[in-house]
Amino acid sequence: MRVLVAHNRYQVRGGEDAAVARDLAALDRAGCAVEAVFLDNGAIESGLSRLRAAVAAPQAPEGIARVMAAARRFAPDVIHVHNFFPLLSPGIHAAARAAGYATVQTLHNYRLLCANAFLMRDGAPCELCVAGSPYQAVRFACYRGSRAGSLAVARMIDHHRRAGTWRRDVDRLIALTPFARDRFIAAGLPADKIRIRPNGLPDPGLPTDGPRQGLLYVGRLSPEKGVTTLAEAATRAGARVTVIGEGPLAQALAGHPGLDLKGALPADSVRAEMARACALVVPSLWYEGLPMVVAEAFAAGTPVVASRIGALAGLVTDGVTGLLAAPGDPSDLAGALGRITGDPAGAAAMGREARAVYERAWHEDVTTRALLDIYRDAIAARAAEAAPARTGT
């Protein structure tokens, strides 16, 4: 199978960029012929370049032209689009459809229905634009606190809603979780085209049976991640949490008695910390997409204490693969931390079940097979649509 991947990289490399890189490597290992076209937000540096990107966001003709030039040369069976904002746009799907290519879109976040892509406002979940007008984002300056920037994103969302891009031009859409699929359906995306397929993770190897100790947080130190709730919960539980990551709250959290801030660490060091922790803590206040730290913890046989919100409530089975706590509630989170650290045998049993879930759902072999099935489905759908046109019926 010949697969052309298109992805608009972020200025600060993050989870989506890593997920695309893992998919490319997995497809190559599966024997596919793979080529990638990357557009890079690092090129948007000046005020003029930001203005040009904002104006072009609904269609982004230059980015589309780059992808289509690669498609003409590479002749793919399917074009797989990941992030499209702002240098590519959902308009790539209409161009690909017109040229006869099957297309797939992975919905890593909520950008096609929410200006800030998080379904979050003022520190809490917000679904005003799910079924309502995307221009409400302008009122609240949802995109980076800028009304002008919010208008640019809202125009893109509105344009493709009205144009029917998601119903007409895309053969298959990939949601990372059942929760995300439900939100996209609520926003009017066609349920029959949406498949659930999580991002895959190469197997780090079987966990060791040695003793575990300590709690671990891995992620950005920012308000939506719930790290201030974690800090208070750690104090209440009399626990100390190892914290790996950077972000705007790092200075405010420095010296907190319940947190041991390590900053950013290499991937192998993170895996080592994950493998010896009693549990990983994910205290997010927002819906999350598919936090790969959960998959990494499960692969390491480490249970997860997470907020009972959005996708997290479905990823972690309370009492089976970890514990759930009310989002933003330090008392409830402290109770969960105390329960999991106070019952090493129970935590170990949860860790074993977490590893089994990883092997069933997130192992690279499993997710690659699922992705190839989605590609075949998309190719068949495109061929079926094209058949009447070829026969003149």
- Among 344, 332, 337, 334, residue whose Cα is nearest residue 308: 332
Q: What is the pLDDT of residue 50?
A: 60
Q: Would the CATH topology of 2-108+164-200+365-386 be identical to that of 213-361?
A: yes
Looking at residue 84, its amino acid is: F
> 207 CB contacts (<8 Å, ≥6 apart)?
275, 300, 301, 302, 351, 355
Question: Rounded CA gap, 386 and 393, in Å?
Answer: 11
Question: Rounded CA gap, 199 and 176, in Å?
Answer: 7
Q: What is the pLDDT of residue 346?
A: 97
Strands 241-244 and 215-218: parallel
Per-residue pLDDT of the chain (393 residues; tens, 9 = 90+): 999 999 998 866 678 899 999 999 999 999 999 999 999 876 665 555 665 666 666 788 899 999 999 999 999 999 999 999 888 999 999 999 999 999 999 999 999 999 999 999 988 899 999 999 999 999 999 998 989 889 989 999 999 999 999 999 999 999 999 999 999 999 999 999 999 999 999 999 999 888 999 999 999 999 999 999 999 999 999 999 999 999 999 999 999 999 999 999 999 999 999 999 999 999 999 999 899 999 999 999 999 999 999 999 999 999 999 999 999 999 999 999 999 999 999 999 999 999 999 999 999 999 999 999 999 999 999 999 887 755 565
Q: What is the pLDDT of residue 148?
A: 87
Asked if omega into 202 is within 30° of 0 (cis), the reply is no
Is there a contact between 138 and 150 (Cβ–Cβ < 8 Å)?
Answer: yes
Looking at residue 119, its amino acid is: L
Give the distance from CA 156 to its chain's centroid. 20
Provide the token pair at 65.
């032209």
Q: What is the pLDDT of residue 310?
A: 95
What does residue 259 show for φ and ψ, rounded to 5 degrees? -125, 140
Topology (CATH level 3) of domain 213-361: Rossmann fold (3.40.50)
Strands 215-218 and 279-282: parallel
Architecture of the structural domain at 2-108+164-200+365-386: 3-Layer(aba) Sandwich (3.40)
Is there a contact between 108 and 176 (Cβ–Cβ < 8 Å)?
Answer: yes
Domain boundaries, the chain: 2-108+164-200+365-386, 213-361
Is there a contact between 283 and 225 (Cβ–Cβ < 8 Å)?
Answer: yes
Question: Rounded CA gap, 351 and 146, in Å?
Answer: 43
CA atoms 39, 264, 221, 280: torsion sign = positive
Is there a contact between 78 and 4 (Cβ–Cβ < 8 Å)?
Answer: yes
